Amino acid sequence: MNFVKRAGHSLWARKAGTAALAALFTVICALLLGGSVLRAAAERQEADARREIGVDVTVRDPGLTAALADRLGAAPQVHRYTPSLPVGAEGSGVEPLDAGEPSPDAAVPEPEPPFALLGVRDSGLLLPFSYGSSTLRSGRGITPQDADAEVAVIERRLAERNGLEVGDTIRLRPAGGGPTLPLTVVGVHQDTTPDPAVWTPPHELPGNQLYVPVAVAERLGAGTAEPVTAVYRIGSPDQAEALHAEAGRLLGADPSDVRVNDRAYRDQVLPLQRVGAFAGLTVRVITVAGTVILGLVVLLRIRERRAELGVLLSLGEPKPKLIAQHTVEVAAVALPAVALATVACWFTAGPLAAAAGSLTAVPRVVTADLVAVSGIALGISVLATAVPGIAILRLHPRSLLLDTD
Q: Give the per-residue pLDDT at 345.
A: 66
pLDDT value of residue 185? 95
Residue 144 has pLDDT above 80, yes or no: yes
pLDDT of residue 186: 96
Q: What is the pTM of this model?
A: 0.63
| pLDDT, tens digit (0-9, with 9 covering 90-100), for 216-235 | 998 888 655 566 789 999 88
Instruction: Report long-range pairs for 107-115 (Cβ below 8 Å, ≥24 apart).
Output: 109/201, 112/88, 112/175, 112/201, 112/203, 113/88, 113/89, 113/175, 113/203, 114/90, 114/202, 114/203, 114/208, 115/88, 115/89, 115/90, 115/91, 115/172, 115/202, 115/203, 115/208, 115/210
pLDDT of residue 160: 93
- pLDDT beyond 90 at 209: yes
pLDDT at 214 over 80: yes
pLDDT in tens, 228-287: 789 999 888 888 888 888 888 888 777 778 888 877 777 777 788 888 888 888 888 888
What pLDDT, in 10s, does the model give residues 152-166? 999 999 999 999 999
Q: Would the pLDDT of 313 be above 80?
A: no
The pLDDT confidence band at residue 172, using thresholds 50, 70 and 90, is very high
Whole-angstrom distance, CA of residue 290 vs CA of residue 380: 7
Q: Report whether pLDDT(353) > 60.
A: no
Query: Which tens digit of pLDDT belongs to each residue from 18-76?
Result: 788 888 878 887 777 777 777 887 788 877 777 777 788 989 888 888 888 889 999 99
Whether residue 354 has pLDDT greater than 60: no
Q: Is the pLDDT assigned to residue 306 strictly greater than 80?
A: no
- Higher pLDDT, residue 257 or 394: 257
pLDDT value of residue 216: 92
Query: Taking each helix axis from N to C terminus, what angle separates 263-304 and 319-356, rounded to the nearest 10 degrees?
Result: 150
Distance CA 196, CA 91 (A): 22
Q: Which amino acid is at 2?
A: N
